[in-house]
Chains A and B, each alone.
Chain A
Amino acid sequence: MDALLQQFFNFEIMAKVLPLLLGGLKQTLIICVIVVPLGLVGGLLLALLLRAPFRAVRWGAIATIDLFRAIPPLVLLIFVYSGLPFAGLRISPLTAVSVAFFLNSSSYYAEIYRAGIDSIGRGQWDAARSTGLPMFDTLTFVILPQAIRNVLPDLISNTVEVIKLTSIASVVALPELLYSADMARSITYNTSPVVLAASIYLIMLWPIVRLVSRLERRIAS
């Protein structure tokens, strides 16, 4: 039992590595600030392409969404980071993370927006258009506000997934939270730094997970 505590909950080590981990946390937050908006915007664009008047565009959007939902994000990231240099494209870890996350999370967000837009009845389109609102204004002022409200819990819970996913940036040596923790672990020969990182993720994400559960229940009832 004591060995277990020493190995996983060594507070002395945790205190020592906390500044290092907070530096990592800052990187994690920077990644989030880049990749979450990228995914939200990319997803919206893809979802709108699903409603394009040309069949080829719609099929292209579906193919893109399905392709990037089928490839595990870590595979995409390693492909972008370590595969593209062979083609003469050398990019920084942060760029690789941004590109891979953009492709991956746009596809997931797109599916959510699509469900939201589908949930708005045809009558809303017809009514808005018949008052003389053009297509684009109908979309931005009538359809999207209602659509997004309907799928808000899903949008938030996908954002939690994206934030959790930033931990794979450690694999391409981007010094974010998990990377710093793992470095501290290999220096101290102790797992407590990773447990500390886990606690930081928990403190950050638990309230959001709870919030999503409550939102879902309210919408269901």
Chain B
Amino acid sequence: MDGWSRFTDTFFKPELIERYLPSIASGLVVTVEIALAVIVTGLTLGLLLAVVRTFRVSVLSFVIVIVVDAFRALPPLVLVLIVFFGLPNVGINVPSFAVLWIVLSFVLAAFAEEIFWAGILSVPKGQWEAARSTGLGFLGTLTHVILPQAIRLTVPPITNRALAITKNTALGTVIGVPEILNQASTGQSFAGNATPMMMGAIAYVLLFIPVVILGRWIETRFAWGRA
């Protein structure tokens, strides 16, 4: 057998591609579902925390900064293991996909809070004063004047961060969430062949390359708007 056919036989075996396509596809659905759920809850929570900081209640702000720092400093896999193995032992049973969803949401929220807060700070003080002097209340100023400007500035870093954290859905394989990587490893060990793993890698590339390219586009688009 020559080198090329041995290569295709190891990584692109046609009958294995056919056999494992359904399970990789079902893994893809799970990955997409968890990723979308993480983005929605993570960004919402992050924005909420940043807004709470605008009230300038020092105790609240302090607690938020501490919690956010901790979630930025801890490896997500460590958090996944603590929640997944710890909670059942104290009588709380959470399904593994929910563990992954909750942990990644908090991690994304922590990074998003930091980015949103920086965005809010970057809006000049005059905008606050001008809006308030027209008779707008604090919340009105925040939602109609400050946040629209702040969020626009944060689109590129938020996109990059959301991408980095949704890729962590692959960590779910460690706790048995049936996402792409899990399906691919299971397939690989059943088939005794690396084709399912290659399919998994390709599935991730198909899923995330558009986001990477979108992120590039957003970066230039918004950088232009800022200049």
Chain A residues close to B by CB (< 8 Å): 3-4, 7-8, 66-67, 69-76, 78-79, 82-84, 86-87, 160-161, 164-168, 170-171, 178, 181-182, 185, 189-191, 194-195, 197-198, 201-202, 205-206, 208-210, 213, 216, 220
Contacts and interface: CB of A to CB of B under 8 A. Distances in A.
Contacts of A185: 81, 85
A198 B181 contact: no
B11 interface: yes
B90 interface: yes
B170 to A, nearest CB: 4
Interface in B1-39: 6-7, 10-11
12 contacts: A70-B209, A70-B211, A76-B201, A78-B197, A82-B197, A86-B188, A171-B174, A182-B81, A190-B89, A194-B82, A202-B70, A216-B118
A67 B209 contact: yes
A70 B208 contact: yes
A201 B75 contact: yes
B204 interface: yes
Contacts of B211: 70
B171 interface: yes
B69 interface: yes
B209 A66 contact: yes
For A75, A78, A195, A216, which residue has the most chain B Cβ atoms within 10 angstroms? A75
A178 B77 contact: yes
A194 B85 contact: yes
Interface of B: 6-7, 10-11, 69-70, 72-79, 81-82, 85-86, 89-91, 114, 118, 122, 163-164, 167-171, 173-174, 180-181, 184-185, 188, 192-194, 197-198, 200-201, 204-205, 207-209, 211-213, 216
A167 B10 contact: no
A84 B114 CA distance: 40
Grouping DSSP codes into helix (H, G, I), strand (E, B) and loop, the A interface class, with mixed when no group exceeds half, is: helix
A210 B69 contact: yes
A191 B77 CA distance: 14
B119 to A, nearest CB: 11
Contacts of A197: 78
B81 A178 contact: yes
Contacts of A182: 81
A69 B212 contact: yes
Nearest to B189: A82
B188 A82 contact: yes
Contacts of B11: 83, 86-87
B167 A83 contact: no
Contacts of A87: 6-7, 10-11, 194
Contacts of A86: 10-11, 188, 192-194
Contacts of B192: 86
